């Protein structure tokens, strides 16, 4: 099913890597972004903070054009 969906969306097969397959890399990325692995509420808020920051940057770039 997933292969069929990938072919429909991308017109070709693509490799899928699940985050759970790379736990060390996942933890390193979370630490770099300031996301706590023990406090899920803090992690959720930090992800929203990062998303808002990116949205603000995109909006500023669009205004310049």
Question: What residues does each domain of the chain span?
Answer: 2-64
Nearest to 47 by CA among 30, 60, 62, 61: 30
Across all residues in the chain, what is the average pLDDT?
81
Percent of the chain with pLDDT over 90: 31
36-52 confidence digits (pLDDT tens): 888 889 989 999 999 99
d(CA 64, CA 37): 37
Extract the residue ranges of the chain whose pLDDT is less than 50. none
Integer Cα distance of 18 and 23 in angstroms: 10
Is the pTM of the predicted complex or chain greater than 0.75? no
Predicted confidence at residue 54, as pLDDT, reads 92
Look at the block and give the residue holding tokens 């759970």. Answer: 20
Q: Are 36 and 27 in contact (CB under 8 A)?
A: no
> Which parts of the chain fold into alpha helices (H)?
2-10, 23-33, 40-64
């Amino acid at each position: 099913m997933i292969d069929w969906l990938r072919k429909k969306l991308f017109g070709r097969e693509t490799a899928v890597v699940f985050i759970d397959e790379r736990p060390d890399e996942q933890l390193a990325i979370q630490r770099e972004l300031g996301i706590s692995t023990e406090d899920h509420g803090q992690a959720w808020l930090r992800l929203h903070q990062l998303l808002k920051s990116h949205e603000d940057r995109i909006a500023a770039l669009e205004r310049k054009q």
